[in-house]
Amino acid sequence: MTSKFLRVLLACAVTLTFSALAQTGSATTPAAPAASSPAATPAPNSGTKVGAINVEGAVFGSNEGQRELDTLQKKFEPKRNELKGQQDELDGLKKQLTNTQEKLNEDALATLKKQIETKQKLFDRSAQDAQEDFGAQYQEIFGRLLQKVAPVIVKYSQDNGYGLIIDTSKQWPQGPVLLAGESLDITKPVIDIYNAQSGVAAPPSSGAAKPPAPKPGTGTAKPAAPAAPKQ
């Protein structure tokens, strides 16, 4: 029963991020741990308590998750700066059009409009590609780390008498949970156990934003992807 629960947890939780990639993500969801894994052959779960966990928050709230997320953010920083430069150029051209369109002759006005249209299309395409690339890599990290975190969730639920654990990673109505009190939440103890088990040190304090402490039913703040195009 627990093995089945673990497989369901893995299959469902991976779909929490980047809804545009949900079909791809579900097709590549990692399989449950092999029989040699400690979480694959535990005693049947006979607990009666109900708990809640922000699965995405547990993954990216861990020291390892924060480290991977910080690495991903830094990897995309050049692209983010490139897109900002393109957006600033577009804004300048649009402002120029607004301020001079009554003074330009027909040919000059058409040339400026065509220039804006061309650059806007290139920017939109570049921004979309960057967002999809960021999302795919975010999802890959999430799925890979979830394989390590999921057995901790299962073992914690067994050791503490939980018969049902609900996932609060998505806020209702996007997610199925309307309300879950903080007294039910097991996200922090799972993070603490996983941190101790992984041996990964806490990331150094810096000015970079860290994932906030997740609360039941509130969803998880995702990292900023490359800038979306302005309309």
CATH architecture of 2-198: 2-Layer Sandwich (3.30)
Both structure tokens of 24: 């791809």
Residue 2 pLDDT class (50, 70, 90 cuts): very low
Under 8 Å between Cβ of 76 and 212: no
Residue 29 pLDDT class (50, 70, 90 cuts): very low
Q: Which amino acid makes up residue 144?
A: R
Number of H helices, E strands in the chain: 6, 2
- Name the DSSP letter for residue 21: G
Residue 1 CB coordination number (10 Å): 10
pTM: 0.70
Q: Tell me how far CA of residue 68 lies from CA of 74, 121, 142, in angstroms.
A: 10, 32, 9
Beta strands in the chain (DSSP E): 49-53, 162-167
Q: What are the pLDDT digits (tens) for 8-23? A: 343 343 333 323 323 3
Q: What are the pLDDT digits (tens) for 64-104? A: 999 999 999 999 999 999 999 999 999 999 999 999 988 89
Length of the chain counted residue by residue:
231
Q: What are the pLDDT digits (tens) for 155-214? A: 999 999 999 999 999 888 888 888 888 899 999 999 999 999 999 999 887 544 444 445
Q: Tell me how far CA of residue 169 lies from CA of 19, 123, 157, in angstroms.
A: 13, 32, 17
Q: Dmax of the chain from CA atoms?
A: 81
Under 8 Å between Cβ of 129 and 231: no
